[in-house]
Amino acid sequence: MKSNKQRRQEIKQHRVQRAKKQAQNAAHTAIPKNALKANHAALSHNTTYSPFPLYYIDKPFTCKDCGKAEVWTAAQQQWWYEQAKGCIDSTAVRCRACRTQERARKAAAREQHLAGLARKYGSLPRQ
């Protein structure tokens, strides 16, 4: 009978082998028109067993706040994953207008919270 440590090592090896095989199979596929090639060196911050994408294509989505149909463009995905270092499993869920509103809402809530702390303690606590 194998120990849990041995079993975890086997599972990790199996996942790595499967990811390599999927990457090899994906390397033989053609890149669609209007796709942007992914830079795997820029994606090294992601820790996943899944193979990295070979390219980015436009992805349609529905805004979770207003329900408007939007498209997350390949250029926006490339920026998010490679320059902003976003998680490779994340996707867009809000349109630009709703993202702006959400940021403003969070900023107002933060200001109100800090004002409450200032009233309670007489000054802002050190961070």
Each residue of 37-81: pLDDT tens digit?
Answer: 999 888 888 887 777 888 999 999 999 999 999 999 999 999 999
Helix (H, G, I), strand (E, B) or coil at 56: strand
Each residue of 87-101: pLDDT tens digit?
Answer: 888 899 999 999 999
Task: Point out which residues pair with 59 in neighbouring strands.
Answer: 72
Q: pLDDT higher for 75 or 29?
A: 75
How many other C-beta atoms lie within 10 A of the C-beta of residue 81?
A: 22
By percentage, how much of the chain surpasses pLDDT 70? 93
Mean pLDDT taken over the chain: 89
DSSP label at 92?
A: -
For the chain, the structural domain boundaries read: 1-30, 33-121
